[in-house]
């Protein structure tokens, strides 16, 4: 087995594992959401369309060229493939993308409100989590909206009236960002119910991001 084949197999297995984790961590329900990871320079692996996460096997996970051509897998790629491809094209630094319907963060997406830095762990995503303009799901336009909101450095955005998208150096990192976005959305929601949350300044969030990057090194 070639190194490329081994890499494909490992990444497809990882997609399965994180798909099941989406349900375990209450970041989505049913077959909602999707995730992907780079496989080399011109290919990605992405969760298949409409298959319950607990039923997905590595061989079910499509491997797709960055032009959308399916190379491996007998099941159609996620309908949000155009959104994932748009992010990879715009952000060469991104190695993994996670799209969730996590309840607290999606509440803010439905309000059309960004999530501010009322908790320091939002630094995993940036100084705030911005909101995209509204676009219909599973269209190239929603990918363009996500790319515009992410810019060059932000690791998460709320898809207006839809859900959450995170993008980072690896699938593991993007998944961690998705967890932190949901946690911070919940804290901000609860804090607002009690009073007026304090928001950390951008300069402090920049310092925190540097500390988190170095954590565990």
Give catalytic residues, as residue numbers. 80
* Cβ contacts of 179 within 8 Å, gap of 6 or more: 25, 27
* Cβ contacts of 207 within 8 Å, gap of 6 or more: none
What is the bridge-based pairing of β-strands 163-168 and 96-100?
antiparallel
State both tokens at 181. 């976005």
The whole-angstrom distance between residue 183's C-alpha and the CA centroid of its chain comes to 14
Neighbours of 55 (CB within 10 A): 12
Cα-based distances in Å from 177 to 16, 29, 33: 18, 18, 15
What is the bridge-based pairing of β-strands 63-65 and 163-168?
unpaired
DSSP symbol at 47: P
State both tokens at 22. 């989406």
Distance CA 196, CA 174 (A): 29
State both tokens at 197. 């949350």
């Amino acid at each position: 087995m070639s190194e490329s084949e081994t890499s494909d197999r490992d990444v497809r297995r990882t997609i399965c594992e994180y798909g099941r984790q989406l349900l375990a961590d209450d970041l989505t329900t049913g077959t909602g959401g999707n995730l992907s990871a780079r496989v080399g320079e011109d290919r990605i692996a992405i969760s298949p369309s409409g298959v319950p996460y607990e039923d997905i096997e590595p061989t079910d996970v499509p491997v797709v060229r960055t032009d959308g051509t399916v190379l491996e897998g007998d099941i159609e790629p996620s309908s949000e493939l155009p959104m994932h491809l748009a992010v990879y094209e715009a952000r060469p630094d991104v190695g993994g993308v996670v799209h969730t319907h996590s309840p607290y963060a999606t509440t803010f997406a439905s309000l059309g409100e960004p999530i501010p830095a009322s908790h320091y762990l939002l630094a995993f995503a940036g100084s705030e989590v911005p909101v995209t303009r509204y676009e219909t799901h599973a269209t190239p336009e929603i990918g363009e909206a996500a790319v515009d909101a992410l810019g060059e450095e932000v690791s998460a955005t709320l898809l207006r009236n839809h859900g959450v998208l995170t993008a980072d150096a690896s699938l593991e990192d993007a998944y961690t960002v998705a967890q932190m976005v949901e946690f911070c959305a919940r804290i901000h929601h609860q804090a607002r119910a009690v009073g007026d949350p304090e928001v950390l300044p951008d300069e402090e969030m920049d310092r925190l991001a540097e500390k988190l990057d170095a954590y565990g090194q």
